[in-house]
Amino acid sequence: MAHCSSYQKLSLQNGDLLFVTAKGTGLSGAINNVTQRQETISFDHIGILEKEGNELFVLHAAPKGGSQKQQIKEFLNDQKEEGQKVIVYRLKPEFQKSIPQAIQKAHQMLGKPYNFNYILDENSFYCSDFVERAFREDHIFKLEPMTFIDPKTGTINAFWEDFYKKKNLKVPEGEPGCNPNGLAGSEKLERIREL
C-alpha cells in the first residue's frame, strides 16, 4: 500500500468526496438495485476528505464505527479488502466555499451511531445522509423521495421488504432521503479520478 505522502501527490483537496463502488450482493447490491443511475458505475458508500497538515482523513458514517474520522490509509484498505474501488469527486470551483463549514458540521456529527433504518433522524446517520447534512446549509445536495422499488419488477425489492419486516417497520417508500448514486449525480460535482 502506498504511503500517505503518495496520496498527497494525487493532489487530493480538502472537502473532496470519496465514493466507493458498489458490490453486487447483500446490502450493497440491494442499495444499488434500487438507486443505480449510471450504467457504467455505481456507488454504495461516500466520505469527505479532510486534510490536516500533512495528514489525510476521511469523515464518514459506516455500519462499523458509526460517524467517524478515519485515516485515509485505513479507509482505502477497508475498501480494497472488499474488492471495491474509490473514486474522487470534487465540488466545482463555485461551490468550494462551502467546504470549511461542511467539515466543521461533519465534526459535530462524529461519534453518532450508524443509522441502520435509513429513515432520517437527528441521532444517527448513514453515509450519504452524513455528507448531505454536512453540506446542507449551502444546499449542495438535495433530499429526494426514497425508492425501494426494483425497476425490473415495479414492486418493492424483496431484500428491502424483508429488511424492514425484521425491524417491524414499514418500507419508507417515498420518504425523504439520499444515496451515494444520487449525490454522485449532482451537477455541482466533477469526477476527478480513481484512487
What's the pLDDT at 2? 45
The domain in which residue 18 lies consists of: 4-194
Q: Which of 146, 145, 163, 184 is nearest to 30 (CA)?
A: 163
Residue 86: closest CA among 98, 72, 96:
72
Q: What is the mean pLDDT of the chain?
A: 89
Burial class (CB in 10 A: 0-12, 13-18, 19+), 138: middle
For residue 151, the domain's CATH number is 3.90.1720.10
In total, how many domains does the chain have? 1
Ramachandran class of 43: left when φ > 0, alpha when ψ lies in -120 to 50, beta otherwise: beta
Q: What is the pLDDT of residues 111-168, one digit of tens each?
A: 999 999 999 999 999 999 999 999 999 999 999 999 999 888 999 989 999 999 999 9
